[in-house]
């Protein structure tokens, strides 16, 4: 069973297409794995084994008839529970929406269905993609498969946990201030926040309209590129969607990094914040690997992290408060305490503060994008620390803001979190690779070269322990 | 808003914006959250903004909206 659990999407696709692996057998193996282990991890908020088997049987019948739909045909996946799947509740992990049944699929769900994917269920999230980990909600928070006493990172907590644990080879998450890349880093998987507007947000409960991104979490870079190939694309009904060419993200894999110019934003994790030494060591070792592979590495300077964070949080808190004001007025007691406090931070943001944040945003974005005249991609930290204990409120609070992800929500730049090793305590370490808008293919090319030169992909968490 | 916002300040401000069902615990949360927001405002690099620096959200119609 463990062999099937850790198949990549690419491996599974080859076997499924060649009829060497039955989608039903594959789904059954993962269903058994979830049933055996998820009570310890809470990756799923709503596990749907019956639907998974229905999808798997349909996929099998189609593949046997020669009607192969593509790399996700017969491949299990999960959806963060703010993403609509028609006829199932989209709860946002909140009492407020526990009976909120989706009438239609989100656009990403439509695409996964059309691709013949096998839907395994809805994945745990921080409440409304912001409040977590919380123990005062109807459902428990997800736990880190590498050490169940530790945090997954959020808010796509279940997506990170399920992927790392071998419950699914691919999951959908969302990212407004780092919420794909944080669980990707802390759970040791690959997570892409693409360019703002690349993937449709339609059918996804919003946190902040101008900062929300939908994206994939997977165990390998190739799988991540395959999933982005599937879900990216213009949606005229999403006001933030960009009408530009999308797809082709696997085309450059294997081209290597010889001669590519890589800028390291070192001050984010050495001056603006001091990264935990093992995390810093992991990132610096990764930079050395890229140098050894032929990349030309140089240091780059951008605005301090605190300025990006101030801009991100002013925009986020204002937009989120506007979305939640009515519920906060009518039923504030139905939020978890942490979620409520985070949303309330937008209650008194002045209009001038919000407008100034958008003006600062435009300047920062322009200045950041100008740096790409000297480099092809950039590398920096994602989290400053490995995952802390999930029951250590003080440490969760201390490490919450210790991140370098939110700058790329402000600028809308594509940013990928990839594993760079493990702490002495066995917890994953990660870094970000960042590009100019719509340069996801180049980011994947660099990440793939790094991944192939290292051994992190083959390591899996000890679920039996 | 005063630099040092107090619990009574947030209680009044909350009532003004319809947040009338907040318990004392919620108001404490709101006080902390408001102080956090004030710190963010102070950290915003807006001192060199000029009138020509536009917002990132410019209302723009599509060319097809004829």
Residue B57 lies in a domain: no
What average pLDDT does range A174-188 have in this prediction? 98
* Digit-coded pLDDT (tens) for A286-344: 999 999 999 999 999 999 999 999 999 999 999 999 999 999 999 999 999 999 999 99
Residue B32 lies in a domain: yes
Phi, psi of A177 (to 5 degrees): -140, 15
In this structure, are residues B4 and B28 in contact, taking their beta carbons and an 8 Å threshold?
Answer: no
Rounded to the nearest angstrom, the minimum Cα separation between B32 and chain A is 8
Q: Is A155 tagged catalytic?
A: yes
Which stretches within A140-292 are classed as H helix?
A: 157-164, 181-187, 221-231, 267, 277-292
Could B49 and A313 be called an inter-chain contact, meaning their C-beta atoms sit closer than 8 Å? no
Residue A328 lies in a domain: no
pLDDT surpasses 90 at B3: no
Looking at residue A200, what DSSP letter applies?
Answer: -
Strands A415-422 and A190-193: antiparallel
Can you read off the two tokens belonging to residue A274?
Answer: 């001091």
Q: What percent of chain B clears pLDDT 90, i.e. is strictly above it?
A: 62
In this structure, are residues A343 and A335 in contact, taking their beta carbons and an 8 Å threshold?
Answer: yes
**Closest residue to B37, CB basis, from A317, A328, A363:** A317
Residues A307-310: contacts with CB under 8 Å, at least 24 apart: A307/A360, A307/A364, A307/B43, A307/B44, A307/B45, A308/A364, A308/A406, A308/A407, A308/A410, A309/A401, A309/A406, A309/A407, A309/B40, A309/B43, A310/A357, A310/B40, A310/B41, A310/B43, A310/B44, A310/B45
Q: Among positive and negative, which fits the CA dihedral A282, A286, A292, A296?
A: negative
Can you read off the two tokens belonging to residue A163?
Answer: 């992927």
Neighbours of A115 (CB within 10 A): 20
Residues of chain A contacting B43 with CB distance shorter than 8 Å = 306-307, 309-310
Residues 6+ apart with CB under 8 A from A352: none
Q: Which domain holds residue A112?
A: 2-306+355-452
Q: Among positive and negative, which fits the CA dihedral A74, A75, A76, A80?
A: negative
* Digit-coded pLDDT (tens) for A159-174: 999 999 999 999 999 9
Residue of B nearest to A317 (CA): B37
What average pLDDT does range A441-445 have in this prediction? 98
pLDDT surpasses 90 at A459: yes
3-state secondary structure A349-361: CCHHHHHHHHHHH
Looking at residue B3, what DSSP letter applies?
Answer: S
pLDDT (0 to 100) of residue B66: 67
What is the pLDDT of chain A when averaged over all its residues? Answer: 97
Q: Is B36 on the interface with A (CB under 8 A)?
A: yes
What average pLDDT does range A97-123 have in this prediction? 98
pLDDT surpasses 70 at B2: no
Mutate to test the interface with A, among B7, B37, B54, B59 (most CBs of A within 10 A): B37
Residue B52 lies in a domain: no
Collapsing DSSP states into helix, strand and coil, what is residue A198?
Answer: coil
Residue A61 lies in a domain: yes
pLDDT (0 to 100) of residue A39: 97
Q: Which domain holds residue B24?
A: 7-43
pLDDT (0 to 100) of residue B1: 44
Could B44 and A309 be called an inter-chain contact, meaning their C-beta atoms sit closer than 8 Å? no
In this structure, are residues A121 and A46 in contact, taking their beta carbons and an 8 Å threshold?
Answer: yes
Residues of chain A contacting B33 with CB distance shorter than 8 Å = 341-342, 344-345, 347
Place of tokens 């998974």: A52
Tell me how many domains chain B contains. 1
pLDDT surpasses 80 at B57: no
Residues 6+ apart with CB under 8 A from A67: none
pLDDT (0 to 100) of residue A316: 97
In this structure, are residues A335 and B24 in contact, taking their beta carbons and an 8 Å threshold?
Answer: no
pLDDT (0 to 100) of residue A458: 87
Residue A267 lies in a domain: yes
Residue A109 lies in a domain: yes
Could A362 and B21 be called an inter-chain contact, meaning their C-beta atoms sit closer than 8 Å? no
* Digit-coded pLDDT (tens) for A72-86: 999 999 999 999 999
Residues of chain B contacting A347 with CB distance shorter than 8 Å = 13-14, 17, 19, 30, 33-34
* Interatomic CA distance for residues A210 and A174, integer angstroms: 13
Distance set, CA A296 to CA A281, A293, A380, A448 (Å): 19, 9, 15, 17
Could A311 and B44 be called an inter-chain contact, meaning their C-beta atoms sit closer than 8 Å? yes
Residue A418 lies in a domain: yes
CATH number at residue A12: 3.90.1300.10
Q: State the helix-helix crossing angle for A305-330 and A337-344, rounded to 10 degrees.
A: 110
Residue A332 lies in a domain: no
A465 pLDDT band (50/70/90 cuts)?
low
Residues of chain B contacting A331 with CB distance shorter than 8 Å = 21
Residues 40-59 of B with CB under 8 A from A: 40-41, 43-46, 49, 53-57
Q: What percent of chain A clears pLDDT 90, i.e. is strictly above it?
A: 98
Place of tokens 């974005």: A365
* Interatomic CA distance for residues A234 and A111, integer angstroms: 13
Interface of A with B (CB under 8 A): 210, 303, 306-307, 309-311, 313-314, 317, 325, 328-333, 337, 340-342, 344-349, 353, 355-363, 365
Residue A420 lies in a domain: yes
Q: Is A95 tagged catalytic?
A: no
Cα A132 to the center of its chain, rounded Å: 15
Least confident of A203-207, A400-404, B49-53: B49-53
- Residue tagged active-site, from A22, A94, A124, A155: A155
Collapsing DSSP states into helix, strand and coil, what is residue A213?
Answer: strand
Residue B56 lies in a domain: no
What average pLDDT does range A383-398 have in this prediction? 96
* Interatomic CA distance for residues A241 and A233, integer angstroms: 8
* Digit-coded pLDDT (tens) for A25-61: 999 999 999 999 999 999 999 999 999 999 999 999 9
pLDDT (0 to 100) of residue B60: 72
Residue B16 lies in a domain: yes
Residues 6+ apart with CB under 8 A from A357: A310, A311, A314, A315, A318, B44
Can you read off the two tokens belonging to residue A113?
Answer: 């269905």
Say if residue A44 is exposed, middle or buried (CB neighbours under 10 Å; 0-12, 13-18, 19+). buried
pLDDT surpasses 60 at A258: yes
Residue A160 lies in a domain: yes
pLDDT (0 to 100) of residue A2: 56
What average pLDDT does range A446-452 have in this prediction? 98
Tell me how many domains chain A contains. 1
């Amino acid at each position: 069973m463990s062999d099937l659990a850790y198949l990549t999407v690419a491996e599974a696709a080859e076997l499924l297409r060649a009829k060497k692996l039955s989608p039903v057998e594959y789904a059954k193996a993962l269903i058994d794995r979830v049933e055996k282990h998820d009570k310890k991890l809470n990756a799923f908020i709503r596990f749907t084994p019956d639907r998974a088997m229905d999808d798997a049987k349909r996929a099998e019948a189609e593949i046997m008839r020669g009607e192969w739909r593509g790399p996700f045909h017969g491949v299990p996946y999960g959806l963060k529970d703010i993403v609509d799947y028609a006829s199932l509740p989209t709860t946002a992990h909140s009492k407020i929406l526990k009976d909120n049944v989706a009438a239609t699929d989100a656009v990403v769900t439509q695409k996964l269905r059309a691709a013949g994917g096998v839907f395994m269920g809805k994945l745990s999230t921080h409440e409304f993609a912001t409040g977590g980990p919380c123990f005062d909600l109807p459902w428990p928070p997800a736990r880190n498969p590498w050490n169940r006493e530790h945090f997954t990172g959020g808010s796509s907590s279940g997506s990170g946990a399920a992927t790392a644990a071998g419950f699914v080879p691919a999951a959908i998450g969302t990212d407004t201030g780092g919420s794909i890349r944080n669980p990707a880093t802390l759970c040791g998987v690959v997570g892409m926040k693409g360019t703002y507007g690349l993937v449709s947000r339609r059918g996804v409960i919003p946190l902040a309209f101008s900062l929300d991104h939908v994206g994939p979490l997977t165990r390998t870079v190739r799988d991540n590129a395959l999933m982005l190939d599937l879900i990216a694309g213009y949606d005229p009904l999403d006001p933030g969607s960009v009408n530009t060419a999308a797809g082709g993200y696997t085309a450059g894999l294997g081209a290597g990094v010889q001669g590519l110019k890589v800028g390291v934003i070192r001050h984010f994790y050495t001056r603006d914040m001091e990264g935990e030494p093992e995390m810093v060591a992991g990132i610096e070792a990764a930079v050395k690997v890229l140098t050894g592979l032929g990349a030309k590495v140089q240091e780059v300077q951008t605005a301090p992290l605190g300025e990006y964070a101030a801009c991100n949080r002013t925009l986020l808190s204002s937009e989120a408060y506007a979305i939640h004001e009515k519920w906060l007025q009518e039923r504030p007691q139905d939020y978890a305490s942490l979620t409520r406090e985070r949303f309330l931070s937008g209650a008194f943001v002045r209009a001038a503060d919000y407008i100034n944040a958008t003006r600062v945003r435009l300047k920062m974005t322009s200045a950041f994008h100008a740096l790409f005249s000297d480099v092809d991609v950039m590398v920096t930290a994602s989290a400053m620390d490995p995952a802390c204990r999930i029951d250590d409120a003080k440490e969760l609070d201390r490490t919450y803001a210790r991140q370098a992800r939110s700058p790329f929500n402000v600028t809308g730049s594509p940013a990928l979190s990839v594993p760079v090793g493990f702490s002495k305590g066995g917890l994953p370490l990660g870094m970000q690779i960042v590009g100019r808008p719509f340069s996801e293919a180049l980011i994947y090319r660099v990440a793939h070269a790094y991944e192939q030169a290292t051994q992190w992909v083959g390591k899996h968490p000890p679920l039996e322990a | 808003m005063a630099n040092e916002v107090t619990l009574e300040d947030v209680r009044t401000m909350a009532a003004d914006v319809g947040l009338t069902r907040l318990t004392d615990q919620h108001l404490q949360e709101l006080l902390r959250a408001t102080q956090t927001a004030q710190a963010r405002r102070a950290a915003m690099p807006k001192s060199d903004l000029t009138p020509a620096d536009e917002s990132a959200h410019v209302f723009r119609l599509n060319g097809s909206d004829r």
